[in-house]
Amino acid sequence: MGKYYVTIGLEMHCEVSRTNTKAFSSGRNEYTEEPNCNVSPVDMAFPGILPVVNKEAVRMSIMMSQILHSRIPEFMYFERKNYYYPDLPKGYQITQNPPEECVGNGGYIDIEREDGSTFRVDIDNLHLEEDAAQSTHLYDTTTINYNRAGVPLLELVTTPCLHSADDAITYLEYIRSIYQYAGISDADSKKGQIRCDVNISISDDENTLGTKVEIKNVNSFSSVRDAINYEIERQSQLKDEGRYDEVEQETRRWDESSMSTVRMRSKVDAIDYKYFVEPNIPRFKIEESWVEEIKKSIPELPYERKAKYVSEFGITEYDARIIIKDIEYAKYFEECVRLGADAKSAANWFSSQVLGYIYKKDIAITETFMTPERLAFIIKNINEGTISSKQGKELFNLVLEREEEPSKIMETEGMKQMSDDSVLLDIITKILDNSPSQIEAYKNGKTNLLGFFVGQVMKETRGTANPGLVNKLLMEEINKR
């Protein structure tokens, strides 16, 4: 990138979506579009309510802590972070602080880039806390949805150890996939389950640190990238112009509409959260046996699965890396293979066609009509020679366009690879009759002209001819002349 050395630290908030209930209440933890239906008195902070720690959320946080090679404290307790906001019903958030008392302290995770090189991200801390309610600011009013109030939240804080937007995104994507693979969260940014804060500074070289600017509430990975790049540009420009002293230690926010960062407050005006221990939750010991038990239950993680795909299924490293990115992708791919589709073909079709389609439509993999069953059906028919690969692509598009079963479309469209000797022979004879000069040239050694003849046949049959059969018949017929 530019001429300055960039240093980035990330805070990633991920809602724990896989517990039945909320972090400190019996309110249901379930995403729904209907507002204010998953709410207990505790979530709305009615007078007299008390928090009760969700053991399952603690279990998941301990699992994540282990995946990140973090230190797990012997005793666990919670703190109150006090501030007033209408979407914070109690007027304080139950969280963990300081880092050494959090469920994860220190640690690291190794990340692979797309080119196969790796880098290490150092973890400052991982802590378990509760989410606030959700306010929506309308023209002249604000609505509050308490469904989100009290949802367990894991906040993962890195040290300032990242140096490019690309690495930052690669790291975030990998952590998201870990949350999914470990069964902790759907980590779906469309449901607002992931939010990031970005700390960023520039300096002349890696031995000096510049002024840190914090960008709050960046709600998608693409925004993280945009915000980082914008901020590098902004800070670099000031530095170029000799105005680096105007870069202030401050909090900014990412403004989606103007694609820029906007100043919120300076460090001097930082909120004093008046942290103190939550008196309603007694300190509790995290038994070593429990930690061991949780460790044993860590499921296969993305990189392990990628290695398996390459070695067992023989697919390319490139395809495997794409497929493991999202556990739903991996599930889709594995289902295709289970249904009998050739793994290499499935990987190929998935990473090019299926992903291309869902990206274009901006839908989730689980929402497309092209289910693993339908894709596997198409792949099998191609590999068995029933249809040509060109027909396969047509079929793929028609299935999505008409939302009809591929078998039905094959029937109505008469999609079948032409494998009838006599029909093909008629076409071949006609083409050869019209191409005496090419036959001459072929016979004189220009054997690559065979491709020309095959092309003619394919054109004539609109790609439905069985290419193997065409080759065989062409050779025979030319040799006869």
Partner 1 sequence: MIEHTIKELHEELKSGNVTSEELVKESLEKSHEVQEKCNAFVTIMDDAKGVEVTDDLLSGIPFGIKDNYSTKGILSTGSSNTLKDYVPFFTATAIENLMKHGCVPVNKTAMDEFGMGGTGTTGHTGIQRNPWDTTRMCAGSSSGSAAAVAAGVYPFATGSDTGDSIRKPAAFCGIVGYKPTYGMISRYGLFPFASSLDTCGVLTRSVEDAAIVVDAMKGKDPKDMTSWDSSNIHLYDDLKSDLSGKKLFYIKEFLDKENYSSMDDEMSKHFDNFMEKVELMRSLGATVDEVSIDQNLLNAIPSIYQVISCAEATSNMSNLTGFSFGPRGEGNNYIEQMTDHRTKGFSSLIKRRFIIGSYVLQAVNQDRYFKNAQKARRLLVDKFLELFKSYDALVMPVSSGVAKKFDAEKDIISEDDRSALEDHLQIGNFGGFPSITIPDGFVNGLPVGINFTTNRYEDQKVLNIAYALESHMEYKNQIAKEVK
Give whichever of 50 and 268 is closer to partner 1, judged by the CB atom.
50
Check residue 414 for interaction with partner 1 (CB under 8 A).
no
**Residue 219 to residue 155: CA distance in whole angstroms:** 14
Identity of residue 225: R
Identity of residue 96: Q
Quick one: which segment of 60-68, 84-92, 207-215, 429-437 binds partner 1 (CB under 8 A)? 84-92
Q: Please state the closest distance from residue 234 (CB atom) to partner 1, in A.
A: 30
255 to 294: interface string for partner 1, x by CB under 8 A: -----------------x-xxx--xxxx------------
∠ CA 352-358-362, rounded to 5°: 140
Answer for the pair 198, 223: CB distance below 8 angstroms, yes or no: no
Give the binding-site size for partner 1 (rule: CB under 8 A).
30
Residues 8 to 37: which contact partner 1 by CB under 8 A? Answer: none
Q: How many CA atoms lie within 13 A of 454 on its CB side?
A: 13
Out of 89, 107, 152, 392, the only residue in the binding site for partner 1 (CB under 8 A) is: 89
- The DSSP line for 257-283 is TTTEEEEEEEGGG------EE-TTS--
133 to 162: interface string for partner 1, x by CB under 8 A: ---------x-x------------------
Q: Please state the closest distance from residue 237 (CB atom) to partner 1, in A.
A: 35
Give whichever of 42 and 165 is closer to partner 1, judged by the CB atom.
42
3-state SS assignment for residue 20: coil
Give whichever of 17 and 97 is closer to partner 1, judged by the CB atom.
97
Q: Please state the closest distance from residue 279 (CB atom) to partner 1, in A.
A: 4
Quick one: which segment of 88-96, 162-170, 254-262, 421-429 binds partner 1 (CB under 8 A)? 88-96
**Residue 355 to residue 352: CA distance in whole angstroms:** 6
**Residue 240 to residue 233: CA distance in whole angstroms:** 10
Q: Please state the closest distance from residue 17 (CB atom) to partner 1, in A.
A: 24
Q: Please state the closest distance from residue 47 (CB atom) to partner 1, in A.
A: 4
Give whichever of 92 and 453 is closer to partner 1, judged by the CB atom.
92
37 to 56: interface string for partner 1, x by CB under 8 A: ----x--xxxxxxxxxx---
**Residue 202 to residue 247: CA distance in whole angstroms:** 10
Determine the straight-line distance between the first and last CA of the chain, rounded to whole angstroms: 64
Torsion of CA 185, 186, 191, 194, to 10 degrees: 50
Residues 98 to 117: which contact partner 1 by CB under 8 A? Answer: none
Q: Please state the closest distance from residue 249 (CB atom) to partner 1, in A.
A: 17
168 to 207: interface string for partner 1, x by CB under 8 A: ----------------------------------------
**Residue 441 to residue 149: CA distance in whole angstroms:** 79
Check residue 84 for interaction with partner 1 (CB under 8 A).
yes
Tally Cβ neighbours within 10 Å of residue 389. Answer: 15
Helix axes 327-338, 317-324, angle to 10 degrees: 120
Check residue 75 for interaction with partner 1 (CB under 8 A).
no
User: Distances in Å between the alpha carbon of 80 and those of 88, 102, 275?
Assistant: 12, 13, 5
Q: Please state the closest distance from residue 266 (CB atom) to partner 1, in A.
A: 17
Tally Cβ neighbours within 10 Å of residue 156. Answer: 27
Q: Please state the closest distance from residue 92 (CB atom) to partner 1, in A.
A: 5
Nearest alpha-carbon partner for 123 in 182, 71, 188, 181: 71
Binding footprint of partner 1 on the chain (CB under 8 A): 41, 44-53, 80, 82, 84-86, 89-92, 142, 144, 272, 274-276, 279-282
